[in-house]
C-alpha cells in the first residue's frame, strides 16, 4: 500500500512496514550537534549537514529555531527515525495540497484522478553546466524533488521557487531513507497527481538504482520518464583529457562498482575478466576496495605499471586528483587523503592526459610497452 495511505496518522505511519518505529512517538527537535556545515569543503549534501535542513526546511517548520545542544555523539539511526517523524505531518499536508490542485485544475475524469508524472533525472558529476536542457526544464517544473547526496548544491540552486525538496541520500553509515521508502514516496506523490522528479548524480541508470525505481513504479502502473545525465566516467575523463577509448591503445571500456549489494558476492570477482591491458577500467565507489582490486588485477595479468588516476569530487571547484601507476595508486590515495565520491580510471589511456606526470617521450614508450 502506498505511503499516501500510510500518512493518515503519525502513529500508523511510523509502525508501517517501510517506516520503522522510532524510540518515541514524540519527535525531538533537531539537535545542533548533528549539523556539519560542509559548504566550504564539499559541493554535495553530506550526511546531516545544516545545508540539508535549510534546503528542506519546509518539512521541519520551526524545528531549526528550536535546535538544541547535545552532549553525546549522534546516533545516525536515531537521527534517521527522528527525521521521518518530523517530516511526516508536512508530507501528509503536501499530498492533500497536490490532490486538491489536481482536482481544481480539472485533472480528474469521471471522478477519478490519473497519476502524475515521474522523472528520473541525471544531473551529471557535479558541474551544473553539464546538465542537459531537458533536465533543467523538468527541474524547473517539478512539484517535488527527491534528491540524492551526489546531486551538487549548484544544481539544486536551479530548482524552481515553488517546488519542494526532500533529501533521500545515502552514504556509508547513514541512509536517510531506505530504498523501499524511496519507492513508496515516489508512488504516493505520483498517485496524488504531482510532477515528481527523482534527482540522481551522474546518470540515473549507471550505478544509480534508477532501474529498480523504474521497475517498481511501472509495476504499479506509473509511467516513468528517464532523462539521462553525463555519467561520472565520461564527465571526469573529458575534464582530464583522457579518452576512454583510443585507437591502438584501448578498444573497450568497462564500468565497475567497488560495492556489492548488502549480503551479495564480492564485487571484485570480475577482476579476472577485467584485467585486459587493451581496455579501460572505470571504478565507481571503489575507494575502500581498491587495494584488493589492484592486487587481483595484477595477479590476473594487468601490468603493475599501468597508468591510473583517482579523482575526488570531479568537475566541481573542490576537485582533487592523484595520478600514479596501478601498483602505487592505493598508497597515493591514502597519502592525499581522498574521500568519497572518488572515481578511479585504470588503463593506458590515462597516460594520454596532459596532467600525467611523465614526459611525452616517457608516455610514448610506456603506451607502446604495455
List, for residues 259-281, the tens digit of each pLDDT value. Answer: 765 544 555 677 778 899 999 99
- Cβ atoms of 15 and 9 within 8 Å: the answer is no
Q: What pLDDT does 38 receive?
A: 41
For the cut 60, the answer to whether the pLDDT of residue 14 exceeds it is: no
Which residues are catalytically annotated?
148, 170, 285
Average pLDDT, the chain: 80
At residue 369, the pLDDT reads 54
Cβ-contact 186, 198 below 8 angstroms: yes
pLDDT tops 50 at residue 69: no
pLDDT at 34 exceeding the cut of 60: no
What is the H or E stretch that residue 166 is in?
strand 164-167
Residue-wise pLDDT for 158-167, tens only, equals 998 888 999 8
Closest CA to 125 of 142, 143, 145, 148: 148
Contact (CB, 8 A) for 246 and 352 = yes
Query: Which range (79-88, 136-145, 189-198, 262-271) has the least confidence?
Result: 262-271
CA distance 323 to 307: 8
Q: How far is CA 58 from CA 4, 51, 90, 94, 314, in A?
A: 18, 13, 8, 10, 31
SS3 207: coil
- Predicted local confidence at residue 125, as pLDDT: 95
The CA distance from 18 to 333, in Å, is 38
189-248 confidence digits (pLDDT tens): 998 889 999 999 999 999 989 999 999 999 999 999 999 999 999 999 999 999 999 999
First vs last C-alpha separation in the chain? 57
Q: What is the distance of C-alpha 176 from the center of its chain?
A: 12
pLDDT given for residue 39 in this prediction: 41
CA–CA separation, 157 and 140 (whole Å): 10
Backbone φ, ψ for residue 317 (5° rounding) = -60, -20
Amino acid at each position: 500500500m502506498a505511503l499516501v495511505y500510510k500518512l493518515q496518522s503519525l502513529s500508523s505511519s511510523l509502525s508501517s512496514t517501510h517506516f520503522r518505529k522510532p524510540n518515541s512517538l514524540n519527535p525531538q527537535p533537531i539537535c545542533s550537534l548533528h549539523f556539519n556545515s560542509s559548504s566550504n569543503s564539499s559541493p554535495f549534501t553530506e550526511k546531516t549537514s545544516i545545508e540539508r535542513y535549510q534546503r528542506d526546511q519546509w518539512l521541519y517548520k520551526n524545528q531549526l529555531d528550536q535546535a538544541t545542544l547535545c552532549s553525546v555523539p549522534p546516533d545516525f539511526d536515531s537521527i534517521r527515525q527522528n527525521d521521518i517523524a518530523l517530516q511526516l505531518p508536512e508530507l501528509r499536508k503536501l499530498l492533500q495540497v497536490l490532490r486538491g490542485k489536481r482536482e481544481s485544475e480539472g485533472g480528474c475524469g469521471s471522478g477519478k484522478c490519473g497519476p502524475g508524472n515521474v522523472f528520473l533525472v541525471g544531473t551529471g558529476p557535479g558541474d551544473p553546466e553539464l546538465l542537459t536542457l531537458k533536465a533543467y526544464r523538468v527541474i524547473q517544473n517539478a512539484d517535488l524533488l527527491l534528491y540524492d547526496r551526489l546531486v551538487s548544491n549548484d544544481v539544486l540552486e536551479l530548482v524552481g521557487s515553488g517546488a519542494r525538496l526532500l533529501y533521500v541520500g545515502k552514504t556509508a553509515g547513514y541512509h536517510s531513507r531506505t530504498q523501499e521508502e524511496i519507492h513508496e514516496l515516489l508512488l504516493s506523490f505520483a498517485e496524488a497527481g504531482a510532477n515528481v522528479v527523482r534527482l540522481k548524480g551522474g546518470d540515473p541508470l549507471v550505478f544509480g538504482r534508477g532501474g529498480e525505481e523504474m521497475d517498481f513504479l511501472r509495476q504499479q502502473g506509473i509511467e516513468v520518464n528517464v532523462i539521462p545525465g553525463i555519467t561520472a566516467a565520461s564527465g571526469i575523463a573529458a575534464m582530464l583529457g583522457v579518452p576512454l577509448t583510443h585507437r591502438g591503445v584501448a578498444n573497450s571500456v568497462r564500468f565497475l562498482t567497488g560495492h556489492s549489494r548488502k549480503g551479495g558476492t564480492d564485487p571484485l570477482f570480475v577482476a579476472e575478466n577485467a584485467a585486459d591491458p587493451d581496455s579501460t577500467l572505470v571504478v565507481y565507489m571503489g575507494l575502500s576496495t581498491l587495494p584488493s582490486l589492484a592486487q587481483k588485477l595484477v595477479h590476473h595479468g594487468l601490468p603493475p605499471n599501468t597508468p591510473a588516476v583517482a579523482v575526488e569530487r570531479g568537475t566541481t571547484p573542490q576537485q582533487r586528483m592523484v595520478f600514479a601507476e596501478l601498483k602505487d595508486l592505493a598508497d597515493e590515495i591514502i597519502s592525499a587523503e581522498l574521500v568519497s565520491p572518488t572515481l578511479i580510471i585504470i588503463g593506458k589511456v590515462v597516460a594520454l592526459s596532459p596532467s600525467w606526470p611523465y614526459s611525452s617521450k616517457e608516455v610514448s614508450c610506456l603506451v607502446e610497452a604495455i
